[in-house]
Chains A and B, each alone.
Chain A
Amino acid sequence: MNAVKVNAVSKVFNQGRPNQVDALIDIDLVVEPGEFVSLIGPSGCGKSTLLRLIAHLIEPTSGDIAVNGKPASQARLDQDYGMAFQQAGLFEWRTVEKNIELPLELKGWDKSRRRARAQEMLELVKLPEFARHMPWQLSGGMQQRIAIARALAAHPELLLMDEPFGALDEMTREHMQAELLRICGATETTVVFVTHSIPEAVYLSDRVVVMSPRPGRITDVIDVDLGRGRNEDTREDTSYYATITQVREALRKVESSRSNPDLAGIEDR
């Protein structure tokens, strides 16, 4: 059974109106359990839209999406996935601990079980002493780790992330990437990860999906052959650089084939 199966999906916004946008055309994508897949492409290529479709926050115009072998709508109701966004989006009126408990509360777990799980998640993201703090007392990187803890609190098999490290500084970002790999390795979570950073995509992923804009399509899928157990040394590896070049060229090809100077938003760092 595939973790995610996107079959001939298209998404059109404002259909039939003058401001009609073909956000995604004919997308096919399969993600296997335990896989880490990144979606990369210039602004407007529909990578976030694709993630929202998988999360069933929006409905596809045509085609169908299965998550854990069931329709995306059912997977959302069953909370088969956790989600993290660019903004940590913690509720400022709840303690760190209560933020992590939110999805469990909505699932109707009792208090002691929620407490125990929140503590477990805090230890996973290495912030156990901050349970009673308020979110605004934490740094941006710490808040983002809490958001990941919240996304993983119900032990979902699938984690959907939309540029979760986009607002962090470079040092924190690299640290968070390593943490994410460690956490996902430990929990055997499947991840679909939207980013506009090429090195980030390569460092994290088993596969990098390259997309192009107007209309949003998948133009390339690049396998990253860096194995498991990546660490800081991986960032100096020659095959790491080779894959970065490969992704970059795939993105250039997107641009030149459309002769459309629109690689805005792609980071080389």
Chain B
Amino acid sequence: MTRRAIRRTLLFCLALFVVACLWEFYKAIGPEGGGELLGIPLAKTNDHAMPHTWDMLKRLDEPENRAGGQAIWRSVAGYAWHSFKLAAFGLALGGLFGIAAAVVMARFRFVERGLLPWIVMSQTVPLIALAPQLVSWSGKLDIFGWEWPLWLSVCVLAAFLAFFPISVGTLRGLSAASPAAAELMQSYAAGWWRTLFKLRFPAAFPSMIPALKLGATLSVVGVVVSEISIGVKGGIGRAVISYSQAATGDPTKVYAAVFGAAVMGLALYGLVVVADILLMRNRPQEAS
């Protein structure tokens, strides 16, 4: 178990290193001002378009603004943490609704026939088209005296993305229990709900985990995109936009925010992996 974890971490670092090498390799051989090769346009390799990887890393330890202040990685960590909380809440919200929808669909076949097309259709609506609607709720909508805050709109948009793979994965998982096992529960005179908790959910974990992993990454995408399109402050999405505006004078600055977003995505993904390890620790190896 631990040996596998160490090997995976090493492989991950190796992959990062390979990507950095490719970047530097192209930067070394590519045309400085851009160009064309056999009709294919080539990207510029000057320090504005493609800064050196080590310059990006060095930038992390320099102050956010030229004027001074704390190192930029500290500011980025703060933004990422803010967005991470939103993404985690979005994932929880999406997971809750996704699993609930799957349970209702598994319970009543007619609901599955009626609801599933709507769920699929909901995913064809672009997030950016939905965002303004949800934003307009804040300030207008109050539920029993409790006013809808803007950050909740961000969470709902993230949940909206995360919800889809989770509900589909859970629905598939809920029907994964063998008919013999279902018959055994029937012979114990166990009702539908007890069969759900004693048999169907545990049998569904192997297909719920990959769905949750997908949901986690989608939730991060949802938070970053909706922070940008709604324009809420304090999160990593906003930092990506405002840092990229400084690109002319400070080309490495935006990468600090990009790294922050990547680390935050990995962190949320990591949470699901931890849940995976805890839930599946006693299962046969080939199941994982």
B201 CB to closest chain A CB (Å) equals 10
A153 CB to nearest B CB, Å: 11
Count A-B pairs with CB separation below 8 Å. 47
Distance between Cα atoms of A170 and B205 in the complex (Å): 36
- Report B172-192 residues with CB < 8 Å from chain A CB: 178, 180-181, 183-184, 186-190
Do A77 and B181 touch (CB < 8 A)? no
A50, CB-defined interface residue at 8 Å? no
Q: Across the interface, do A91 and B199 meet the contact criterion of CB distance under 8 Å?
A: yes
Stretch at the interface among B67-75, B103-111, B280-288: B280-288
**Which residue among B180, B188, B199 has the maximum number of chain A CB atoms within 10 Å of its CB?**
B188
Q: A91-B199, A92-B283, A93-B282 are in contact. Are A76 and B187 (CB under 8 A)?
A: yes
Listed stretches A79-87, A202-210, A256-264; interface member? A79-87
Cα distance, A95 to B186, chains bound together (Å)? 21
- Taken together as a complex, chains A and B put the C-alpha atoms of A76 and B188 apart, in Å, by 7
Chain B contact patch, size range:
10 to 19
Partner among B186, B194, B282, B284 whose Cβ is within 8 Å of the Cβ of A57: B186
Contact at B287–A76, with CB atoms within 8 Å?
Answer: no
A136 in the interface (beta carbon within 8 A): yes
User: Which residues of B sit under 8 angstroms from A102, Cβ to Cβ?
Assistant: 188, 198
CB neighbours (8 Å) of B283 from chain A are: 92-93, 134, 136
Inter-chain contact B284/A85, CB cutoff 8 Å: no
B202 adjacent to chain A (CB < 8 Å): yes
> How long is the Cα–Cα vector from A103 to B205 in the complex, in angstroms?
22
User: 1/0 per position for A86-108, CB-CB distance to B under 8 A?
Assistant: 01010111010000001101100
Residues on A with beta carbons closer than 8 Å to the beta carbon of B202: 91, 93
> Are B284 and A92 interface neighbours, CB within 8 A?
yes
Q: How far is the CA of A55 from the CA of B186 in the complex (A)?
A: 9
Q: Say which residue of A89, A93, A106, A136 sits within 8 Å of B180 (CB atoms).
A: A89
Flag if A77 contacts B189 (CB, 8 Å). yes
The digit string for B155-170, where 1 denotes a CB below 8 A from any CB of A, is: 0000000000000000
Report A-chain residues with C-beta under 8 Å of the C-beta of B180: 85, 87, 89
With a CB–CB cut-off of 8 A, which chain A residues contact B183? 57, 85
Given A55-B187, A79-B189, A83-B187, the answer on whether A106 and B194 have CB atoms closer than 8 Å is yes
Give the CA-CA distance A193 to B130 in the complex, in Å: 62
B178 to chain A, nearest CB (A): 7
Given contacts A87-B178, A92-B287, 7 further A-B contacts (CB under 8 A): A83-B187, A92-B283, A93-B202, A93-B282, A102-B198, A105-B198, A106-B189
A residues adjacent to B (C-beta < 8 A) = 55, 57, 76-79, 81, 83, 85, 87, 89, 91-93, 95, 102-103, 105-106, 134, 136
Measured CB to CB, the residues of B under 8 A from A are 178, 180-181, 183-184, 186-190, 194, 198-199, 202, 205, 282-284, 287
Q: List 22 A-B contacts (CB under 8 A).
A: A55-B187, A57-B183, A57-B186, A76-B187, A81-B187, A83-B187, A85-B183, A85-B184, A89-B178, A89-B180, A89-B181, A89-B184, A91-B181, A91-B199, A92-B284, A92-B287, A93-B202, A93-B205, A95-B282, A102-B188, A106-B194, A134-B283
Q: Which 7 A-B pairs have the closest CB atoms?
A: A136-B284, A93-B202, A83-B187, A77-B189, A106-B188, A89-B180, A106-B190
